Amino acid sequence: MAPRVVLDTNVVVAALRSRQGASAAVLLHAGLGEFEFCLSVALFLEYEGAVKRPESGVVLPVAAIDDILDHLAAVGRQQEIFFLWRPTLSDPGDDHVLEVAVAGQCDAIVTYNRRDFRGAERFGIRVISPPEFLMEFRRSER
């Protein structure tokens, strides 16, 4: 069975900043059936706001950014969230990401900010970096 994850916003921003890193590799595999990723409307809007900020470091044309975001919206598993148990994390701004993971019955949250998601393990959600996710993903392909 394909793993189900949530991609934190920092992974999407990193992927659009550079085609060379693990985040870009994760995004390249999105929608190919090798793993599922869940997102909510709030998380998608956060992706959009973050990658379109001038200080994001994303230098792609807006049309290319929109195409990538459209692809993510099309291949992601839309997950409704209900905001029932906030706050949980040390940064309340990250609670919606955890809520998507819990509601979507995800295996993990893929992020570069692991410490921001301390407490996710209470819900059976692992917190892993993009390189770790790729290593596990490639190991399971064998």
Q: For residues 97 and 82, give the distance between their C-alpha atoms in angstroms, rounded to a whole number.
A: 12
CB-side neighbour CA atoms (13 Å) of 89: 19
Q: How far apart are CA 106 and CA 127, in angstroms?
A: 11
One pLDDT digit (tens) per residue for the chain, 142 residues: 789 999 999 999 999 999 999 999 999 999 998 999 999 999 999 999 999 999 999 999 999 999 999 999 999 999 998 766 667 888 888 999 999 999 999 999 999 999 999 989 999 999 999 999 999 877 766 5
First to last CA, the chain: 14
Predicted confidence at residue 59, as pLDDT, reads 95
pLDDT of amino acid 83? 67
CA distances to 13, 51, 58, 98 from 55, rounded to whole Å, are: 11, 9, 8, 25
Helix H, strand E, coil C: the string for 39-62 is ECHHHHHHHHHHHHCHHHCCCCCH
Give pLDDT, residue 86: 66
Asked if 37 and 6 touch (Cβ cutoff 8 Å), the reply is yes
With beta carbons less than 8 A apart as the criterion, state whether 11 and 112 touch.
yes
| CATH code assigned to 4-141 | 3.40.50.1010
